[in-house]
Amino acid sequence: PIYTPQSTLFTPIFSLSWCFKQKGEVAEEPSAGIRNTQADNFDWALSKLDNSVRRTGRITKTLLQKIFQDICRKGYPSGNQALLLLRSCGSLLPEVPLQERTEFAHHVWEKLKTLGVAYDVSHYNALLKVYLQNEFKFSPTDFLAKMEAANVQPNRVTYQRLLAAYCQDGDIEGASKILAFMKSKDLPVTEAVFNSLVTGHSRAGDLESAANILSVMRGAGIEPSSDTYVTLLCAYAENGDITKIKEVSLDRELMQVAFSLAKAGHQQHAREILELVKHDIGYIPEAMNLCLSLITLGMEDTAFSVLRSFPILKTESPIEDSLTLGNFFLRHCVNMNKSVEKLVFFCNGLKDVNFHSSPLQFTLHCALESKNTAMAVGLMKVMKKEGFPIRPHYFWPLLVQHQKDKDTAGMVEVLKAMQELDVVPDIDTYSLYVVGTFPSLDKAQAALQEVGFDVHTSDFVSAVVRFEAAKRNLSELYSLSDLAFSHFSCLLLPSIAHCYLCSCISFSRLLMYSPLALIFLYNAITEHSILSLFLSIHSEAEDLLKEIKEKNVQLRSIKSLFHTLNEHGLKGDTTTVQRLQDAMFTLGLVNPSSNLYLFFFYYFIFFFSPTLDAVIECNKLYQQLPRLHQVICALINKGDTELLQKAMDFVRKERGEMMMMYELLFGFLWTGRYKEARKIAETPGLRAKPGRLQWFAEKCISSQKMEALENMVDMTAKLFECDRDEMYHYLLCLCKITNNWQKAEAVWMKMQEENVIPREKTLILLADIFKSNQQPVPFEVPEVIKKNNNKIINIAVVVGALHTRVKMLSPPPHSAVRHMPEFKLSDKAASLLIVTQARSGKLEDALAGLKDMVQAEQVPMQLAIRQVLQGLAKQGDVKGIQEVQDTVGALCQSMNVSSVSFMNSTALAHITNGDLDSAVEVLESVYSRQQSAASVFRAVLTANDEKALDKLSAMAERLCNQFALYRPATDLFIQYLDLGKTEEAKFLLQRCAAIAEQRNVLTSYMSKSSNVPGKVQYDLSSAKALYQQMQDDGIQVDELSLKRLAKMYTDAGETVPFEVPQVNISHCPTSFLGLIVCFFSR
């Protein structure tokens, strides 16, 4: 659409310099396997963006940022990805001002160029389209010079858009030069050129010449379409000629006219035109775009009148979802920094018409999200006047940035706003945001007192205690202890209450495995000879059907049945056809289908009324509509409007309005009634049905009806949710079949005119057409793995069948895997085969398979590499582990496989071989890198290898006590706990007391262990025993644990034997050391 929503929030994109390689840096070319893996991971984003464009006409800034970051981070962008990004820099961005869009387009252009994208003419044309949509002033001659310097040849689309640029500025002289050049080069003058000339004459102040362009078009044999009339109406709108606009009857695209009126300063006329817009299926997304554009241009009042016209407002009892549909409007008003008075006016208006249930609260949320302090405070004041309570946490989004930047002045301003609103900061506000912003406690107190807050309240003192405790500032805590002794019981020690709560919660996890079960089976079952008899023994056909049923013969094909019924139908033998059909359906030999229900012999002898009756009867009996398209085409050709109306009424009643429209559209297209077909395609409310469009396209391709297919593609250009790339792909398929490269070239030009971003399959097909006709390919052909007709087998996976199928999955030398050159497993299937071989002890085959995958530029799964390493470690094959590392070393970074995995496996292999000194040497190297070797300790403990355990324990204690490397001892300690070896864990803790200080590792372990199914939960008897043991051992039980234990007593209906503390759970952390001791005591 012409109108384009904009915003000022694109700044973060321009700070993404970290995601680009430095200029001049030469990146290593990745393997084909990695490139395909990266492409697979990126496909979802491209698909989501494209779907958003097709459905709503816009994309979000956040989504575009994510895609852009992914391209820059992963490197090696393709020309197609660059084309998609460039296209997204124009009218598709609903939140970005025109200037910022163009700046971002230039930014994308330069950065992708440094990343190795080779730009062709389609990229330059896309950039020109962005310039036109963003109304960017540039020199067409300089643009052509840049293309020439890049050795890129302009094409028809390039000249069309350069002409449009001149016309956009009202430069008819410059446009005439481009037009004369196009004629000298025999380039066709299309409707797009005439539309540009209409705009050019209008902006040059010559409306009469603009209107006369339509006569010139007709003289050139081009009938003006709705696009031309919309362009003319927009020209009238820019001049405020509402009378001329009303003289032209046009149902579609009136929003563009309204936008042009509003943009030219004629808002009163814009509202008048908007009342004429029909509320069809695409109204709301288009109206949303119009609202956003008007807000950006400072015409929010007009935008609000558009919003209030949404049809959903007219429902008497709006559904819950409809009460938030004004969110996009309010959010954009906040982003555009509209005044608080305006925002309140819009909020009240939305609430009055039941369009939003809580607009003021949502607007405040947006203001806080955008860190707009003045706006947020102003909205809070309004909310307070209306009786809404203002909470301290409302100010947190405003405080957090000041806290990070240590901006005391900004912090004071927010505190003053809180004071104005009579909001007193609570403990969390003080401790999390306020106190830490100031360089000292004294300055924090002074600032708060200056604002007017009392610093001697319990909340402030408690907040200071909590803040100092979190910093481990014991001296400061000691100085505060006399003043705040009552607060120390639950605020002194660092909080891990959340982790402790989680440790008592067990979640059942559904573990899904997908082991490789079967490769594939070949079937060599021949056709039943009984079916061939149908063609020769018609008199006995019904008896044969009964015999097939009695003998339970399975029919592999219904082709013979079809031809038999067809032959009788062509003879007009209605009785036989009906009898055989009834017999087949009644006996259940086949299911009713449109092919088998052969009433259409009526059609061949032009008995249209009985044919239509047969269709209706078939639908009534079997819910099938056989040969409906042929019947409709026959009725159109005959001109029987009465029967055609009867057929349409029937289809509408049975299948709905949309189905009826498509049947009529395809009927008109097939019979060459293109004018009538276009009227159907432009029906308001009609939306794309991919399955129906594909069916007709394939029908045209099989019949080589280029004209009908071409008209369908052209008519569906503005069809709601229509996949334009798919439509053009159908056209190119037919061009390939007919070997018509000239038509393919015209299709390519049309795609550029329409600004369609082709998928890789479309580009590959188009390049194939050009190459097969010895024509140059005007774009970069996407790289793909050449399959050479390989069969990529998608393996079926069956849970539990793995171990029983090992022999099938470990193919002998004569199998398909070794001797069928066309046989190739997918990456996942090959990886799962390696996993199966490794687990079954066939490590040689597994290692060979791993090498084959890497040589074939496939990317193995992490699971496959891990299983091979584990198998080799158990066999003590150090050399084999090194061989695996050499094989997959180049892939490790992209697959997120750490080199420590190979070192741990090597250590285990040495232990298997009894070479403990070498194992210790490897493990010391691991821990010197601040990595973990917990898996080695676990393997040794599981194997009950006392000799190896003694050696590794000594190493852990030595590194802990002599070199302050606590991770090995902590890893061993955790493995003891996990395997239930509590006494050994206690002994190790006594010898290496520093283990208790490794908070991060231990907390992580406790958090993970809490989610393992099977842990004790709600066991009151065990809890009683634990509580008693803690008292016997003199351990102080924290108040949170007492409250939780009291709840267990209450839930069990027993009396609580102690006094329950009254304390807020969120403010009661517990002792970390106490948690460890409690954990041991279980």
Residue 216 binned pLDDT confidence (cut-offs 50, 70, 90): very high
Check pLDDT > 60 for residue 765: yes
Tell me if 270 is assigned to some domain. Answer: no
**Is there a single domain that holds both residue 730 and residue 719?**
no
pLDDT (mean) for 629-654:
83
Residue 1000's pLDDT is 80
> Is it the case that residue 1036 has pLDDT exceeding 80?
no
* CA 954/CA 941 separation, integer angstroms: 15
**Per-residue pLDDT at 864 exceeds 70:** yes
∠20-22-28 over CA atoms, to 5°? 85
Q: Can you tell me the mean pLDDT for 462-484?
A: 63
Single residue among 483, 502, 521 that ends a domain in this structure: 502
Look at 935 and 507; give whichever has higher pLDDT: 935
The answer to whether residues 910 and 918 touch, using CB atoms and an 8 Å cutoff, is yes
- List the helix and strand counts (H, then E) for the chain: 60, 4
pLDDT for 608 equals: 56
Mean pLDDT of 958-973: 86
Whether 965 and 979 map to the same domain: the answer is: yes
Please tell me the total count of domains within the chain.
7
Q: Is residue 410 part of a domain?
A: yes
The predicted model gives 280-285 an average pLDDT of 76
The residue from 838, 859, 886 where one domain ends is 886
Question: Taking Cα atoms as reference points, which of 193, 194, 211, 210 lies closest to residue 202?
Answer: 210
pLDDT of residue 694: 93
Higher per-residue pLDDT: 748 or 550? 748
Domain assignment present for residue 431? The answer is: yes
Range 41-67 average pLDDT: 74
Tabulate helix, strand, coil % of the chain (nearest 5).
65, 0, 30
**Can you give the pLDDT at residue 510?**
28
What average pLDDT does the segment 765-790 reach?
A: 75
- Whether 679 maps to a domain, the answer reads yes
- Asked if the structure places residue 367 within a domain, the reply is yes
Which tops the pLDDT comparison, 4 or 531?
A: 531
Regarding whether 846 and 770 lie in a shared domain, the answer is: no
Distance CA 138, CA 162 (A): 10
Distance of CA 306 to the CA centre of its chain: 30
What is the DSSP code string of 922-982?
Answer: HHHHHHHTT---HHHHHHHHHTT-HHHHHHHHHHHHHHHHHH---HHHHHHHHHHHHTT-H
Same domain as 691, residue 543: yes
Bridge-based pairing of strands 796-797 and 516-518 is: antiparallel
- Same domain, yes or no: 710 and 800: no
| 920/904 Cα distance (integer angstroms) | 11
Q: Which residue has the higher pLDDT, 1062 or 828?
A: 828
- pLDDT of 121 reads 93
Give the per-residue pLDDT at 727. 93
244/1077: higher pLDDT: 244
Q: What separation in angstroms does the CA of 187 have from each of 178, 408, 740, 779?
A: 11, 67, 19, 20
pLDDT for the residue 600: 46
| Closest to 899 in 3D by CA, of 877, 882, 918 | 882
Rounded distance between C-alpha atoms, residue 736 and residue 739, angstroms: 5
Task: Report the CATH number at residue 449.
Answer: 1.25.40
Is 682 found in the same domain as 543? Answer: yes
Q: Residue 1013: pLDDT above 60? A: no
330-348 pLDDT, tens per residue?
Answer: 999 999 899 999 999 999 9
pLDDT for the residue 693: 93
Is 50 exceeded by the pLDDT of residue 1074?
no
- Within a domain: 342: yes
**Of the candidate ranges 56-70, 310-324, 718-732, 749-763, the one whose mean pLDDT is the lowest:** 310-324
Q: Which domain holds residue 955?
A: 898-998
Strongest mean pLDDT among 305-309, 364-368, 793-797: 364-368
The answer to whether the CB of 261 falls within 8 A of the CB of 229 is no
Q: Are residues 351 and 467 in the same domain?
A: yes
Residue 645: the pLDDT is 85
Q: Tell me how far apart the alpha carbons of residues 1065 and 1044 are, in angstroms, rounded to a whole number.
A: 10
The mean-pLDDT minimum among 326-335, 816-825, 949-958, 1057-1066 falls in 816-825
Pairing mode of beta strands 791-793, 823-825: parallel
Check whether residue 637 and residue 488 sit in a common domain. Answer: no
pLDDT at 162: 95
Q: pLDDT tier at 610 (50, 70, 90 boundaries)?
A: low
Q: What residue type is assigned to position 247 of the chain? A: E
Residue 620's pLDDT band, with cuts at 50, 70 and 90, is low
Cβ atoms of 84 and 758 closer than 8 Å: no
Looking at the predicted structure, is the pLDDT value of residue 524 above 50? no
Average pLDDT estimate for 706-714: 93
- Same domain for 821 and 916, yes or no, is no
Task: Give pLDDT, residue 669.
Answer: 93
Q: Is the pLDDT of residue 887 over 60?
A: yes
Q: How far apart are CA 38 and CA 30, in angstroms?
A: 10
Is residue 495 over pLDDT 80? no
* 300 belongs to a structural domain: no
Residue 519 resides in a domain? no
What is the per-residue pLDDT for 558?
54
Same domain for 662 and 736: no
Arithmetic mean of pLDDT over the chain: 76
Average pLDDT score over residue span 353-358: 86
With a cut of 60, say whether residue 804 has pLDDT above it: no
Tokens matching residue 344: 């309140």
SS3 557: coil
pLDDT number for residue 528:
37
Answer yes or no: do 765 and 797 share one domain. no
Q: According to the model, what pLDDT value does residue 965 have? A: 84
* Residues 718, 608 share a domain: yes
Under 8 Å between Cβ of 392 and 424: yes
Q: For residue 1080, is pLDDT > 50?
A: no
Average pLDDT of the segment spanning 89-111: 88
Q: Is pLDDT above 70 for 244?
A: yes
* Residue-level pLDDT at 605: 42
Query: Which of 99, 130, 161 is the last residue before a domain boundary?
Result: 130
The residue with greater pLDDT, 723 or 797, is 723
Q: Which residue has the higher pLDDT, 561 or 113?
A: 113
